[in-house]
Amino acid sequence: MFEELMQDSISIKTKDGTIYDDVMASVQNNKIYTTRYDIPISPGDEITRQTSAGKDELFIVEDPGFRKGLGGIPDNYQIRVRRADQEISRSGNVVYNVTGDNTRFNLNGVDSSINIINQNPSELFQVLRNEIESKVKDEADREKLLIYSQQLEQGIGKEGFAAKYAKFVEVAAKHMAILSPFMPALTQLLVQS
């Protein structure tokens, strides 16, 4: 019964060089089935099948998969193979060191998290002013941003903070590449006021 399923003729070359020709088998995707349990198959052995077009396909045994027969099912091999011309995927250890504020690790996914950091406002504004002074090239904008950032710092928790924030953002919009890292913290101050 199972012999009828074995439509492929393969050759098995064991690591010691012994060749078993005309072995009837069923070649499937990454698996080869045979009832020739008398052949000592091991990982690394080579299996060759000649296609009807006369081309040889070479497979490497990864797991012989010997199965003891049961009832009317004879002993058999369910051999897990890979094509010899297929790259072996090497899985290795990858170490990710993630530190600091707002750190996260996201692999093949979408990051929808929100960070809330309670930073000392004087530190925030000092770093903000340093960035403005060193990276904003337009002198007029730099002066406005420095004045508005000082007004923001002095207005934390007071009425009118939202208007000062709006003035700052209006000028900052042209320089978001530099100032975008500060916007979440400034917005948090807006909510607190």
CATH class of the domain at 2-83: mainly beta
Quick: pLDDT tens for 152-166: 999 988 888 899 999
| C-beta pairs of 55-58 under 8 Å, 24+ apart in sequence | 57/27, 57/83, 58/83, 58/84, 58/85
Question: Are 126 and 102 spatial neighbours (Cβ–Cβ below 8 Å)?
Answer: no
Q: Where are the domains of the chain?
A: 2-83, 121-192
Quick: pLDDT tens for 83-128: 988 776 666 777 777 776 667 777 777 777 766 666 688 888 999 9
Question: Are 189 and 121 spatial neighbours (Cβ–Cβ below 8 Å)?
Answer: yes
Of 5 and 140, the one with more pLDDT:
140
Average pLDDT over residues 134-155: 93
Per-residue confidence (pLDDT) for residue 22, from 0 to 100: 92
pTM of the model: 0.45
